[in-house]
Every structure is written in structure tokens, then in C-alpha cells.
Structure 1
Amino acid sequence: MNKKKVLIITYYWPPAGGPGVQRWLKFVKYLPEFGVEPIVYCPSNANYPIIDQSLLNEVPSVTIIKQPITEPYKLAQLFSKKSKTISKGIIAQKEKQNLLERLMLYVRGNFFIPDARKKWVKPSVRYLSTYMSDFNIDTVITSGPPHSIHLIGLKLQEKLGVTWLADFRDPWTSIGYHKQLKLNKASKAKHKNLEKQVLNNADQIIVTSPSTKSEFEDITNRPIHVITNGYDSELVNVKELDSKFTLSHIGSLLSKRNPEVLWKVLQDLVENDKDIAAQFQLNLVGEVGEEVIQSIKNNNLINYLNRIGYVSHNEAVKFQKKSQLLLLIEIDSEDTKAIIPGKLFEYMVSNRPIIAIGPKGADVASIIKETNTGQYFNYDNYEGIKQIILHHFESYKQGNLKTNPIGLQQYSRKQLTKSLAELINPS
């Protein structure tokens, strides 16, 4: 049986590191099992903010085509190292931004709409129009951010009449950093217009959370499907847990994700419980905003901090599996209710209890509750956070700290790819 060919356009692809690359790397891995032949199109010279060479080992044997991209961030780095942090989404608090940072954010927001990869659209459309015609490919999937990738799909649909699925790993105009880009009125309107064009022309829209689906339903009548991120069966062996009472956060902990309430709880516990003080360790694995470090210092926790920095995906999985507790933090904002971090699903299958802190009404809260993998707290729940850490510490002392998850299979990468394949090739 011939497999249905589908062109997948993505900016993030190994050796890119970070969460953005995982989603489509795993979809591409499993799609052939469901009658779909994926062909990946990505940049040949991308300026990825994070590199993870280990992910190259996970790239399956599929056709991958590449074309060069113009990267403004490369030029910006000649003037300021801050451009690299901005490209990672690490934006300093407004009152701490210097003149150059404010100027860079203004230029990024108003001169590069929808984003700094916009110059890849025209040459990609030109190249792919011929490629798709030559190889009889009639279906294309675009994955954003960067949301300029969706404009490639829009143009290919206009030009060739192909079936187009737009995958939104994050929202567009409601994404957390959007308000920090110092957009003028005309730029805001242009973003809204492009978002509307994409949502009203794509044949199918895929989102990663129910909240994003609800948001987009106010803009379009096109079919919208929720396919979350998920977990894969990682071949990472961890023989034993940390001997210390470790609380680990894996991934970027940006300045706006600074959980002051947690630091205050931890200060209270280590200052008033000698057992906890002797055993506790805070692991931060990944990029950390300086405001976060300062808050940890202010709460007299710096001696308990193990700041590890960015590690490969395999190393990150090891930390997840050996830590006593896993920490999940989201910005306390209405705009972040829809964000379901990819690491949540890897956390859930690590068999380690999750302590999550975020905004009221977040999609993450219901997933954690339904799967019985931890507890979710709002930023004002000091006592709740304190009591759950004390409860877990008692279990840790008894050697009985674990979870009893339920219903995780629906979030396996293979099961999620099956749902995707049914959209690509409906029976």
C-alpha cells in the first residue's frame, strides 16, 4: 500500500534543542506506521538559540529537504548578547531593560512581522511550489511558532490548491511575550490580520490545548483539533533516586515565571525544620532568569541551589526520573492558561510527584488531576504548597515517595500521532 505523502514545514529540527523541536521529531518518527510518508522541510543554516546534538540520533530515516534562511538575530548578536536571550523568549522586566534592549524589542516587534524569520517565506514558497508539483504532494503541514511558517502554507495553498493543516504549538497574538514587543497600533493590527488570514484559510487547525481551541473558535469556523504534546518511551535507565530531598525544575525558568510564594514556603521550611534543612536540594536544570536567582538569594535559599544549566534531552530525562519531586511553573497570567508545557507529559511518566504552580483555570491543572500525577496550586496558596511539601517529605523519609498515575496512554507520542494521521488521511 502506498503511503500518503505529506510535506511538513518546521523551523525547529535537530540539532535544535529545547521543547519546540520535540513535537514534530516524534510525529515524524511514528507517522510511517499509520500510512503517512513525512517529508520534512527546514532551514539549512538556522540560528537556533539552543543546540542539542544528541537529538540528531533520533532523526528517523525520512526525506529531509533544506534551504537557507536569512537570520536577523545573527546580525543582532554583533551588537548585543541580549539578542540571543530575546530569541529564547527571555525578556528582562520592563524597568530593567536598557536603551539597546528596548530598541531591539521595538525593532523585533514592528519591523519583523510576524517574526524575525519572515524573509524565509518567499524563497520557500518558490522552492516548494516546484518540489510539491514534481513529487505529487498535495498536503502540507506548517508548525509555528515562528508563525511566519504558517504564511508559507497560506501561499502554497493559494498557489497550488493543496490541503493545508496549520499546527499551533503556541497561540499567536496571545502568546506570553507578545505584549512585551512594544508593538505600535499598526503592528498590532497587522498581527491580528495575519492571524485571522491563517485561521480562516487553513483546512484544518491543530492546537495543543483546549484553551487555545476556545480562543481560536472566536476567530474562525474552521475545524480545530486538540492534539497535545506527549511522552515517548525514553530509553534512559536510572537505577536509584537522589539520596537528598530534591525538588527539580527542568527547562527554562524565565523571570516572569518567578514563584515568589514557593521560595517563601521553602525558606519557612528550611529555617524551621532541621530535618528538611539537612536533606533539601533545589535543582534548576536549564536557562534561569537572573531575577529568579535574586529571589532565591533574597529568601536565603542560595546554599540549597544546584544550578545545572542547559543539558541534553537525555540528561534532562535522567534528572526527571531520579528527582524526588518535580516542579512545574507557569506565569501567573490569563494569557498563560492555555500553555501545556511538553515536559509535563515526560514528568507524568517519570513516576515522580509533580508540584505545579500557575494561573487559575489553567489546562495543566485538569491534566494533572485527571492523571493523578501531582498537585496544582495557584500563586496565592501558600499554605497548600507548604502542606504538600511536608506531606511528600514524610513519604520521602519512609522511602515511599511515588505516584500512582492513571490514563497516561492517551498522551503517548504514538497514540497522538495516530490522531494526527487520521486528520491527514481520513478513512
Structure 2
Amino acid sequence: MKKPVLIISYYWPPAGGPGVQRWLKFAKYLPQIGYDVTVVVPENPDYPVLDESLLEEIPENINLIKVKIKEPSRMAGKLSLKRTKNLQRGILNKKASFIERAMVWLRGNFFIPDARIGWKHHVLKAVEPFLSEHRECTVITTGPPHSVHLIGRELKTLLPSIKWLADFRDPWTTIGYHKDLKLGKRAQKRHVDLEQEVLGAADLLIVTSPFTGKEFKLKTATPLQLITNGYDMKPNTRTRQPEGKFTLAHIGTLLSDRNPLLLWETLQELCRDSEDFTAHFQLQLAGNVSDEILESINNFQLEKYVDHKGYVSHDSSIELMFQAQALLLIEIDSEETKAIIPGKIFEYFASRRPIVAIGPRGADIELLLTDTHSGEYFNYQQKAALKKHINYLYDLYKTGRNYSNSNDLIERYHRSHLTQILAKTIEFVWE
């Protein structure tokens, strides 16, 4: 008899971006190892980005419960669609208008913990038939949005016989953008209280980074399991360097706060110092990029080297990774971002192209790069070392020796392997 698992996730195809990939892939592999999977998703969500190609990846052997949701973003979008979509994507304009500032304040102080809080009551009602039939099942909630965890907390209260696992793809109260939400004291306290309730009530916590695991261990005695994100694509088998220009590619969203002035200045100097470099160099951006980032690139006189593709499908993003000479990974230089492991890093691994990462000292992504021998990591005080390394990659490129990384150390991050860890975690809570 298959073991029932109920997964509650706001992000689901056709949502684009990395947030949808994690539980879409777990839902793919869990049935293969003896689980009966049911996934609760919104019926009519207002996702900031869409990737219709992901609809084809929904497994046929799972059950879907689609639950209607009222999205405040739809109403806000009537005032300004572009501003609303940018806010949903996390792109906060530092030169924000009054309307933008008001929207951020309302989001932070009236929708706690987030704007999807109204979905909770609809989900609780929708899963009643399932839980009446499966009174001893595993319930998994995944956030952000962290309001989804409040559904799990309520279900655990109503039906103590279930086992509830709360999956944190990102931290809650320590995530970097919290300070940008203009939270009042009451809202700040409410976030802290809700986080503590969830951490204490869950049967087990799942985190995606060691740093978040250390944070939560200081806040609760609830058992905790690290399960990183991963990749599900066929790793790149092209061992020779790609043809074309010396392309440094950033795949994914680039927020205003993630503006790597250090990188732009370094590239400007490389272009100024060598006509040969400028003849071959290309900066490729694939994904949503804030206006401030583009303005900075222009200020450093790099605009003529930019290939800005905008948002691309998941399949297209993989091919761009394969074709790049090196892949850029940028994180904000702050204490809060040390715990952030962007989901794309694992597909970067599978692309086997050299990674050039920039972030704060002591970040978890530095350990991953070191363990997999997939690239080099630089903090924001290492401009000279960054410039030297990009020059090194360019020299390899010029001599046709910018080969792919062919080691097998990345296999531990394949989604099927990670699902085995998840299955053992589920077994643990039932022991």
C-alpha cells in the first residue's frame, strides 16, 4: 500500500522561476518509491512570471487539488501593472513613487505574513475530504509564501494524527527583503510570533541551506533536516569550450539590491585595458533585471556589450548555460544573504560551465562551489582577485582550453537523490 503525502504549495506550473521547481520534482520522484502524492495548488493564481513549458512536466501519476485564491495583487495591478509585477518579483525601486511606497507598506503591515494569507481558509476546507480518508498521512507545506505554513499549523491542531513537515526554501524573519517592507513594531512582532509557532508546532523542519539550519536550531528544539535544491536536467556532456564570444552569462532575476558594482567596475577596466578583450566580450542577462541594474551597466559604459534577453523559458535558460564561457552568480553583500542558496546554482553545476560567484564572506554558496570544484567565489572586497580570475578564464578561452568541469561530485544534487533523502526524512517522523 502506497504511503499518502499531501503537499501544499503556492508555486506550481505555469509559475516560472526557481520556486516552482523544488516540489514539482519531488512530486515526480516520490511516486516512484512508493508514495501516493496529492498536491494542493492555487486554481487561479497571479504569478509574477509564467513558464508554460513547465505544464508539460506535471507528473500524470499524482493527484491535484486546485483551490481558488483571491490575489490582492490583481487589485493593485489595476493601479499599476508594472509596479505590481515588480513588487511580486521582489524588484523594489529605490526611487519609488508614493503609490509604490504605499503598496509596500500595506503589504508589510496588513498582509501578515504575506499577501496569500487569505488562501488558508479555502485550503482548509478543500482538504477535508482527503484528510477524512487519510487521517494518518504526511502533510508538507513549503514557503515562501510562509502563510502556507499556517495552513500546516492549523491542520496539525485539527488532526494531531498527521505528521507535518514545514519546508523553508528561504528564511522567514531574517530574509533580506524584510527590512524593505516598512514593518511597524506590531507587524514585526507578529512575524516573530508566527514564525515561532510554526517552528514549534511542526513535527520536522526542512531547510535548504546550512545557515538557515543553524538559525532555526537556536530558535526551536524541533528536529531539522537539510535538503538542498537540485537539478533534474541531463548534465552537459560537451567537454570542449562553447563556440562564440567570451560570454559571461547571468541567468535569473537581478534585483536592485543585488547590484554588483564591483563586477561592473572590473569589467569596465578589462574592456578599457584590452582591445582584444572588448572584441570578444559579451555580458548576457537572461531573466528579469531591474532598471537600476541596467542604469549601472550604462554608467560603467558596458551597454554595448550587453545581450539582454529578458525572461526566457526554463529549457532556453539551460541552453544558455551550456553556451556560456562562464556563469555569473550574484548575491547581496549582507549578513542575511549568507543563508541564501539560489536554486539556479545546481543547474549551473549540471551545465558544467565555470561559475564566477560574488557574495558576502562566509556564505553557504562558497562551500558548495568548493565542495563541487565548480567555480570560484569572491567577496565584495576582492576586486583584484576577481579581475585576475576573469582574465584567467579569458586566456583559457583564447587558447580554446576553457573546458567543462567533468567531475561527478554534483550527482548528490540530482533531484532523484534528494528525493531519497526526503523519503528517509518522512520515515523518520513516523518512527
User: After the TM superposition, which residues 321-332 of structure 1 pair with which residues of structure 2 at under 5 Å, given as runs?
Assistant: 321-332=322-333
How far apart are 1:123 and its partner, in Å?
Answer: 1.9
User: After the TM superposition, which residues 292-307 of structure 1 pair with which residues of structure 2 at under 5 Å, given as runs?
Assistant: 292-307=293-308
Residues 124-166 of structure 1: per-residue CA shift (max 9 Å, x gap): 1122133211344521000000000000000000001111000
Q: Which amino acid aligns with 1:145?
A: P
CA distance in 2 between counterparts of 1:234 and 1:312 reads 17
How far apart are 1:351 and its partner, in Å?
Answer: 1.5
Q: Which residue of 1 aligns with 2:399?
A: 398
Q: Which amino acid aligns with 2:25?
A: K
1:260–1:235: structure 2 CA closer, same or farther, 3 Å change rule?
Answer: closer
Q: Which residue of 2 aligns with 1:195?
A: 195
> In 2, are the aligned partners of 1:348 and 1:405 still within 8 Å (CA)?
no
Residues 67-89 of structure 1: per-residue CA shift (max 9 Å, x gap): 10110000000012311111111
Q: Which amino acid aligns with 1:31?
A: L
Q: Which residue of 2 aligns with 1:87?
A: 88
How far apart are 1:240 and its partner, in Å?
Answer: 7.5
**Partner residue of 1:415 out of 414, 417, 428:** 417
Which TM-score applies when normalising by structure 2? 0.96
- 1:366 has 2:364 as partner: no
Residues 359-401 of structure 1: per-residue CA shift (max 9 Å, x gap): 1110000110111000000011110110001100111111110
How far apart are 1:234 and its partner, in Å?
Answer: 3.7
Residues 158-215 of structure 1: per-residue CA shift (max 9 Å, x gap): 0011110000000001111111100000000000000000000100100000000011
Q: Which residue of 2 aligns with 1:107?
A: 106
- 1:218 has 2:218 as partner: yes
> In 1, are the aligned partners of 2:230 and 2:343 still within 8 Å (CA)?
yes
Q: Which residue of 2 aligns with 1:233?
A: 233
CA distance in 2 between counterparts of 1:197 and 1:136 reads 23
Q: Which residue of 1 aligns with 2:186?
A: 186
CA distance in 2 between counterparts of 1:167 and 1:125 reads 18
Greater displacement, 30-39 / 49-58: 30-39
> In 2, are the aligned partners of 1:236 and 1:314 still within 8 Å (CA)?
no
SS in 2 for 1:173: coil
Q: Which residue of 1 aligns with 2:256?
A: 255
How far apart are 1:235 and its partner, in Å?
Answer: 8.3
How far apart are 1:236 and its partner, in Å?
Answer: 8.4
Q: Which residue of 1 aligns with 2:13?
A: 14
CA distance in 2 between counterparts of 1:267 and 1:88 reads 29
SS in 1 for 2:229: coil
Q: CA RMSD in A?
A: 1.5
Give the unaligned 5+ runs of structure 1: none
> In 1, are the aligned partners of 2:247 and 2:324 still within 8 Å (CA)?
yes
Q: Which residue of 2 aligns with 1:119?
A: 118
CA distance in 2 between counterparts of 1:416 and 1:157 reads 26
How far apart are 1:405 and its partner, in Å?
Answer: 3.6
Give runs of ≥4 in structure 1 deviating > 6 Å: 235-240
> In 2, are the aligned partners of 1:330 and 1:359 still within 8 Å (CA)?
yes
Q: Which residue of 1 aligns with 2:68?
A: 68
Q: Which amino acid aligns with 2:362?
A: G
Q: Which amino acid aligns with 1:5?
A: P
Give the unaligned 5+ runs of structure 2: none
> In 2, are the aligned partners of 1:7 and 1:137 still within 8 Å (CA)?
no
> In 2, are the aligned partners of 1:236 and 1:317 still within 8 Å (CA)?
no
How far apart are 1:324 and its partner, in Å?
Answer: 0.6
Residues 74-131 of structure 1: per-residue CA shift (max 9 Å, x gap): 00000123111111111112xx111111111110000000000000111211221332
Q: Which amino acid aligns with 2:33?
A: F
CA distance in 2 between counterparts of 1:79 and 1:350 reads 41
Greater displacement, 234-243 / 14-23: 234-243
How far apart are 1:247 and its partner, in Å?
Answer: 0.2
Residues 268-318 of structure 1: per-residue CA shift (max 9 Å, x gap): 111111111100000000000111111111111000000000000000000
> In 2, are the aligned partners of 1:373 and 1:404 still within 8 Å (CA)?
no
How far apart are 1:237 and its partner, in Å?
Answer: 8.8
Q: Which residue of 1 aligns with 2:166?
A: 166
Q: Which amino acid aligns with 1:265?
A: T
Q: Which amino acid aligns with 1:219?
A: K
Q: Which residue of 1 aligns with 2:207?
A: 207
Matched-pair identity in %: 49
> In 2, are the aligned partners of 1:44 and 1:68 still within 8 Å (CA)?
yes
- How many residues align structurally? 424
Residues 24-58 of structure 1: per-residue CA shift (max 9 Å, x gap): 01111111122212110001001011110000111
